[in-house]
Amino acid sequence: MYQFEGQVTDALTGSPLSGVYFELDQKILQNGAVTAGFIFAGAAKTDGSGRYDLSIEREKVTSFLMTYKKENYFTIEIEETSANVTTDGSNVYDQELEPKSWIKFDMENFGPSESDHLRLLTQDFREGCNGCAENKTYNYYGALDTNITYVTTAGSYVKFTFINMVTGYSLIDSLYATPFDSSTYVFNY
């Protein structure tokens, strides 16, 4: 038997998280070949103290994929080689999940023109996830009047710069990424 257990906590507060979905997938050695992808092995949910416990039958496994999911938190996936997993006792994997926050830019153009050019530079945003900003420069052209929302890690400040490339006007500011909430910044140009 393989046994997996641990506690999941909120990365911002350190509080235990109940209702976290823990999924265990595995790559199995069959007929001398490893399965092309991971195969579902089992799942559990954390209890009121943030603890989970899952036991599965032992197979010829080359690696495991552990996934931790909870609404309004960033999902964590951890791949572990079977060489680091024991059958002689419990395998303990404690995790911290980072809460989400949403940053909404409301860009209002009071004198729209097809020759408009707005530049947005983002800093200190979470990168590499669905809906995240990249810490880079974005260019918008034409009669822009829109809203853009990015998801980021809660509990910190994100920085940004708006530059009206036609007039040269620029503005540097920041917003606090409130846990589980949206923060809106209105930029009029």
pLDDT in tens, 82-127: 999 999 999 999 999 999 999 999 988 887 888 889 999 999 999 9
Q: Model pTM?
A: 0.88
Three-class DSSP labels, the chain: CEEEEEEEEECCCCCECCCCEEEEEEEEEECCEECCCCEEEEEEECCCCCEEEEEECCCCEEEEEEEEECCCECCEEEEEEHHHCCCCCEEECCEEECEEEEEEEEEECCCCCCCCEEEEEEECCCCCCCCECCCCEEEEECCCCEEEEEEEECCCEEEEEEEECCCCCEEEEEEECCCCCEEEEEEEC
- The pLDDT, as a whole number, for residue 74 is 97
Domains within the chain, CATH numbers bracketed: 2-97 (2.60.40.1120), 100-188 (2.60.40)
- The pLDDT, as a whole number, for residue 127 is 93
- The pLDDT, as a whole number, for residue 189 is 80
